[in-house]
Amino acid sequence: MITMEDIIREDRPTLRNVAEDVTFPLSDEEKKLGQEMMEFLENSQDPQKAEELQLRGGVGLAAPQVNVGKRIAAVLVPSLDSENKEPDFKEILYNPKILSHSVQGACLGEGEGCLSVDRDVPGYVVRQARITLRYYNEEGEKKQVRLKNYPAVVVQHELDHLNGVLFYDHINEDNPFTLDEGVLVIE
Q: Using 50, 70 and 90 to split pLDDT, how confident is the model at 94?
A: very high
Residue 61, pLDDT above cutoff 90: yes
Residue ranges of E strands in 116-169 = 127-128, 130-136, 142-148
Name the pTM for this structure.
0.97
Of 139, 158, 181, 187, the active-site residue reads 158
Residue 166, pLDDT above cutoff 90: yes
138 is catalytic: no
Q: Within a 10 A sphere around the Cβ of 17, how many other Cβ atoms?
A: 13
Q: What is the reported pLDDT for 81? A: 81
Q: Using 50, 70 and 90 to split pLDDT, how confident is the model at 80?
A: confident
Report whether 152 contacts 128 (CB < 8 A): yes
Q: What is the reported pLDDT for 178? A: 94
Question: Whole-angstrom Cα distance, residue 40 to residue 24?
Answer: 24
Q: What angle do CA 20, 99, 23 make, to 5 degrees?
A: 30
Report whether 107 contacts 127 (CB < 8 A): yes
Averaged pLDDT, 49-57: 97
Containing 47, the helix (H) or strand (E) segment is helix 47-53
Q: What is the reported pLDDT for 102? A: 97
Averaged pLDDT, 141-148: 98
